[in-house]
Amino acid sequence: MAFTRANGIVLHHRVLGRSDGPTLVFSNSLGSDFRIWQDVASAFLDRFRVVVYDKRGHGLSDAPPGPYTIDDHVDDLIALLDILRIRQAAIVGLSVGGMIAQRMAVREPARVTALVLCCTAAKIGTPETWAERIAAVEQHGLEAVVEGVLARWFTPAFRKSHADEFAGWRNMLLRTPREGYAGTCAGIRDADLTADAGRIAAPTLCLAGDQDGSTPADLVGRTAALIPGADFQIIAGAGHIPCIERPYELAMLIEMHLKEARLV
């Protein structure tokens, strides 16, 4: 583990794998930390320099007062990569991490070699639904939303067959700093990346869980249709967090995409 002050805040991160390999960055969903990638990232350590990090307001990174914007998160990632002396990277982004990845690809096209946009979209939810969630969290903490979020994150089959693991991920969500969760909700609320999707030049794969309650497959598919040349695939038996429920299938799809982008 490492801690680095980037863009004025301390970011918790790890750099794994081959120091001489191409870089692969994983960006997390709302309410999670980089541990969600453990079973996916391990598939790439023999060929890639893998960077996992806790975005602002999450995990062990600083949680400054919100609200945040997607550009705040992009600024953090750019600053972290600069400190690590990483000039180019493929980015795998989940949910809000996928929004960060989309915005990064538009702002810094020369730095992004490929994109995997997992369970995400150019616009997620409505201002009203995000305002309700922010108010609930600010007034009552993550306990006020945890059950609804987990119902969208995981399929009923996973919750039943992996009860102990499910309980652990529930703990992770509940321990997300209130300021960080609400601040990032505001960033998602205010973000509409639709107009810029056509400017994404990096080879892009969009993935959806067939049982995702947060970003349904049709929403992800509509975003894929906006991005020139993007591929779109659905992961069976997955909710919003396929890196936990279907890590090996997800890793295989990422691998195939990186091969097509000639990074493997």
Give the global pTM. 0.97
Whether residue 1 has pLDDT greater than 80: no
How far apart are the C-alpha atoms of 128 and 74, rounded to whole Å? Answer: 24
Q: What mean pLDDT is predicted for residues 155-162?
A: 97
Residue-level pLDDT at 174: 98
Average pLDDT, the chain: 97
Task: State pLDDT tens for residues 189-207.
Answer: 999 999 999 999 999 999 9
For 200, the 3-state DSSP assignment is: coil
Whether residue 21 has pLDDT greater than 80: yes
**pLDDT bracket for residue 264 (50, 70, 90):** confident
AA identity, residue 192:
D
How far apart are the C-alpha atoms of 167 and 165, rounded to whole Å? Answer: 5
List, in order of start, the domains of the chain with CATH numbers.
2-260 (3.40.50.1820)
Exposure string over 76-115, b if 16+ CB within 10 A, otherwise e: bbbbbbeebebeebbbbbbbbbbbbbbbbbbeeeebbbbb
Helices (H), the chain: 38-41, 70-83, 96-107, 127-140, 146-153, 156-161, 163-174, 178-190, 217-226, 242-245, 247-260
Q: How many of the other CB atoms lie within 10 Å of CB of 138?
A: 15
